[in-house]
Amino acid sequence: MSTLVDDIGSFPLPQNIKRDSFNEAYQRARDAIISGGDFKKDPFILKNFCEVTLNSFKKKIMSGLDVVNYPQQYDGIRQISDLIHKSMEKGTFLVEERQAILPEVNLISAEAKALSEEFSKKILLRVSIFGPMELYLREIGTTPYADVLENFAETIRRFAKNSILNAKHIETRVVSIDEPSFGFININAEKDLICDVLEKAFDFKGAIRQIHLHSAARLHELLEVSNIDVVSFEYAASPRNIESVSQRMLEEADKQIRVGVSRTDIDSIMAELRDKGVDKPTMEQLVEDEKTIKKRYEKAKAKFGDRMTFTGPDCGLGSWPSQEAAHLLLRRTIDAVKKSELLP
């Protein structure tokens, strides 16, 4: 069985777009969608959100990804917490279902026919959303309040449900709930509560349900969450993560796995290059060579076999210095995996 290549989500803004302008356009687009307005009639939104998002998404498609995450260029936590804060003004942590929307998904859905025709294929979309535990750590802390955690989980479920597309030209193939702090910084809750919270967050149908982690230290606990289909972790920058799970564990839990096989930890990469005397690295120097990525992929595939159904970069690329550098990393990762798949 071939392994699909996807990406985790974040992507650099074009160099000619200011962060403040994009954020304002994003917020205005979101408000318009929620209120039922046509945000495309606003020239500021059209230039600073619509064109930026669609052009970035096209760059990802052109890299050759099998499943393409929308370009997450607005702060991932704020995608959800902005709306949680508005709900808190009404005395609840629960975001109304009609407000639980991602503007990027709305825009890509509206442009699906044109995108499908331009690239001569159906668009397979990946949707990433920060999870209830990550949001809880940012908003509340480590002391567990079950009712608040459950509201956060239901809010995430609503965002996920509203992001599932199933049409002629586009399909949401994967919804990933990202919990990057899990295993590093944890809510002081019993395992049963954590599993219940994730069970609720993943309680939706119509897409493969993936959870993305930066640490695999407590991954074995998540194998008990029946609504999770795929567990995902970094491997390229954190080689020891692969030791925390075996193919047998996945088979017993009936789970699949996604393993990151190319490094995206740009700060560490640049620090290592500076130590070698390279102060202004080129794109070629920032991105690992294809041989290194291929070797790493083959090691992971040998360990997990057909249970390894997804691979790609470790994490998102939002902090990378340019879209061109990010595109090169995607391209090399895809080439490494696809060439390996062709081997007998």
* 279: amino acid identity, one letter: D
pLDDT at 156: 98
Please give the C-alpha separations between residue 51 and each of 10, 55, 194, 224, 285, in angstroms, as whole numbers: 16, 6, 39, 42, 30
Distance CA 344, CA 332 (A): 21
Using the structure block, give the residue that is written with the tokens 């020239």.
43
Residue 1 has pLDDT above 70, yes or no: no
Mean pLDDT of 130-159: 97
Say if residues 214 and 260 touch (Cβ distance below 8 Å): no
Distance CA 255, CA 261 (A): 19
* 85: amino acid identity, one letter: H
E strand or H helix at 293: helix 290-304
pLDDT digits (tens, 9 = 90+) for 282-311: 999 999 999 999 999 999 999 999 999 999
Distance CA 149, CA 147 (A): 5
pLDDT at 331: 98
Mean pLDDT of 244-266: 96
pLDDT bracket for residue 83 (50, 70, 90): very high
pLDDT bracket for residue 195 (50, 70, 90): very high
pLDDT at 342: 73
194 belongs to a structural domain: yes
pLDDT at 238: 93
Say if residues 93 and 84 touch (Cβ distance below 8 Å): yes
pLDDT at 217: 87
pLDDT at 344: 54
Mean pLDDT of 270-282: 95
pLDDT at 94: 97
**Residue 296 is part of a domain; what is its CATH number?**
3.20.20.210
β strands within the chain, DSSP E: 4-5, 68-69, 123-130, 170-178, 208-213, 230-233, 256-262, 308-313
128 belongs to a structural domain: yes
Q: What are phi and psi of 101, to 5 degrees?
A: -130, 150
Angle at alpha carbon of residue 320, lines to 74 and 270, rounded to 5°: 145
Partners of 124 in the β-ladder? 171
Angle at alpha carbon of residue 126, lines to 48 and 267, rounded to 5°: 70
**188 token code pair:** 């002081």
pLDDT bracket for residue 334 (50, 70, 90): very high
47 belongs to a structural domain: no
* DSSP state string for 147-180: HHHHHHHHHHHHHHHHT--BSSSEEEEEEEEE-T
Mean pLDDT of 68-92: 97
303 belongs to a structural domain: yes
Number of domains forming the structure of the chain: 1
Mean pLDDT of 172-196: 95
CB within 8 Å of 8: residues ≥ 6 apart: 69, 128, 176, 178, 212, 260, 264, 312, 313, 314, 315, 316
22 belongs to a structural domain: no
pLDDT at 127: 98
Please give the C-alpha separations between residue 253 and each of 127, 193, 219, 223, 340, in angstroms, as whole numbers: 24, 19, 12, 6, 28
Range of the domain at 221: 4-13+57-342
48 belongs to a structural domain: no
Residue 343 has pLDDT above 80, yes or no: no
Mean pLDDT of 163-183: 97
Distance CA 61, CA 11 (A): 13
Residue 191 has pLDDT above 90, yes or no: yes
Distance CA 130, CA 159 (A): 10
39 belongs to a structural domain: no
Mean predicted lDDT score pLDDT of the chain: 96
33 belongs to a structural domain: no
pLDDT digits (tens, 9 = 90+) for 200-210: 999 999 999 99
**142 token code pair:** 């480590």
β strands within 94-236, DSSP E: 123-130, 170-178, 208-213, 230-233
Distance CA 104, CA 72 (A): 8
Say if residues 127 and 172 touch (Cβ distance below 8 Å): yes
**How many beta carbons lie within 10 A of that of residue 195, not counting itself?**
19
